[in-house]
Chain A
């Protein structure tokens, strides 16, 4: 039984003078504990898929099923992490982290304790009372991870969370996020345009093409590297093989979509 099912999703964006078909015929399933990557060029509808799963927008047609039951409201099972941290600059790190519980009216002393504990786990002890501007990009993104995790989401939606970071920080954060999600047995959907990141973190990679956004091909990551931490995956020989396959797939699409 799958935790999450997208069934024949299509989505149109309307504006005053035109409309965009952002998604068409998107169907896939995610099992509990699975790590899926959505890979594709910018504008192929990856963020739109995440917004639909989170219940932030209603798809024009199609259905999202959670535990085989259809949902169309804001999804309490999901946690969203954006490309930038979007920590509120006027709140301390701790208050930022407690935003979710506060909105859901679950704020209490044990939440505070939990926040501090999670901060420690991501390597950020002693920052709870600081304001975000005094943290580095990587630290802020880790704080944003804690903010997402504290509401105990079943499914994490990660929208290019590492793309605004420098390379070294990005590699470290990939490892950290990977370990945290394994520790807490979370299901995750990662949006990225970085092939290496997709291979090193996920169990399955959904390659998309644009105009309209559809699924081009789904790649299974070889079992040998699935459970390896991302940094080590990048040095594995299977990594290179898969990288080439995905590279070719993306190139083919580009050739197809090039103007005739």
Chain B
């Protein structure tokens, strides 16, 4: 008797949760539809200048047209390629540098002031130097996508390495473990959640580096399309590129989130 009434309360609670979720979803859809409708409407009624602010229908048409004639796909591909590579290189180098700092206390002390400066430095300002050094092509852009996340990854991961409870090392040392064994049995796996959490931050940072890089190199990619559209006063093209960036960046973020979940479930250790 008592149990069944408990259960009723619980299902009522569950129902309430579901309703709340539905309300949130409805509002999200309304906001989206409302925004685009208002935009379309104001553009058609000349409340805003359609030349400057374009309109959703024009943007969609342009995207479809450019995909149909193949003048969008290459730009999209090249930007994605640069971003993914920049993201991977930046994250890996950041972790490798953190391992080096951990391996040698002295190296870490020597590097300390340089890391502080490099971290404080706005990395995209280095763009022109990359272009001079690596040429005005995708290599420079990838380098910018990478450099923007290296130092912050290094600092975050290194501090995670240092924060692990020294007693775990003590356990391993009592079995006669070497420094490297301590790293690979305790320090690395214990810091894995932190390393994984840097992934999500880094994928966003790489976008910044790559888009700025494409602005500067101005040859190919969605960043280039934005600059080009701006120069020829084709704001529909600018908006279309922004829309695509928003969609792909969100998809990448979600993918990294899935990867994160997968990695946490299959913690690398041996």
Which A residues contact B (CB, under 8 angstroms)? Answer: 54, 56, 74, 76, 78-80, 82, 84, 86, 88, 90-91, 99-100, 103-104, 151, 157
Q: How far is the CA of A106 from the CA of B172 in the complex (A)?
A: 15
Assess whether B177 is in contact with A103, with CB atoms less than 8 Å apart: yes
Cβ-defined contact, B172 with A103, below 8 A: yes
| Chain B interface bracket (under 10, 10 to 19, 20 to 34, 35 or more) | 10 to 19
Cβ–Cβ < 8 Å partners of B176 in chain A:
74, 76, 103-104
CB distance from A203 to the nearest CB of B (A): 24
Residues of chain A lying within 8 A (CB to CB) of residue B174: 54, 56, 74, 78-80, 157
Q: Is B74 an interface residue (CB 8 A)?
A: no
The closest CB in chain A to the CB of B189 belongs to A90
Report which B residues bind A (CB closer than 8 A). 165, 167-168, 170-177, 181, 185-186, 189-190, 192, 267, 269
Q: Pick the contact of A86 from B167, B177, B192 — CB < 8 Å?
A: B167
CB distance from B205 to the nearest CB of A (A): 28
For B175, give its contact among A82, A84, A100, A157 (CB under 8 Å).
A100
| Distance A99 CA – B170 CA, assembled complex (angstroms) | 13
Q: Is the CB of B168 within 8 A of A99?
A: no
Q: How many residue pairs at the A-B interface have CB separations less than 8 Å?
A: 48
Q: Which chain B residue has the least Cβ–Cβ distance from A151? A: B175
Taken together as a complex, chains A and B put the C-alpha atoms of A79 and B176 apart, in Å, by 10
In the complex where A74-B173, A91-B269, A103-B172 touch, is A82 in contact with B167 (Cβ < 8 A)?
yes
**Measured between alpha carbons, how far is A84 from B185 in the docked complex, in Å?**
18
Complexed CA–CA distance, A104 and B269 (Å): 17
* 6 nearest A-B pairs in the assembled complex, by CB-CB distance: A80-B174, A100-B175, A103-B175, A74-B176, A103-B177, A90-B267
A82 touches B171 (CB 8 A): yes
B167:A80 contact, CB within 8 angstroms: no
Please state if A86 and B171 are interface contacts (CB–CB under 8 Å). Answer: yes
Bound complex: CA A84 to CA B171 (Å): 11
Within the complex, what minimum Cβ distance (angstroms) separates B164 from chain A? 11
Residues in A whose Cβ lies below 8 Å from that of B186? 88
* A103 and B181 contacting across the interface, CB-CB below 8 Å: yes
Of B167, B172, B267, which one neighbours A99 at CB under 8 angstroms?
A: B172
CA distance A80 to B165 in the complex (A): 16
Q: How far is the CA of A84 from the CA of B168 in the complex (A)?
A: 10
Report if A90-B269 is in contact (Cβ < 8 Å); known contacts: A74-B173, A103-B172.
yes
Query: Given A82-B167, A86-B168, A90-B189, A99–B173 Cβ distance below 8 Å?
Result: no
Interface centre among A56, A78, A88 (most CB of B within 10 A): A88
A100 to B172, CA, bound (A): 7
Given contacts A80-B170, A103-B185, contact A86 B165 (CB under 8 A): yes
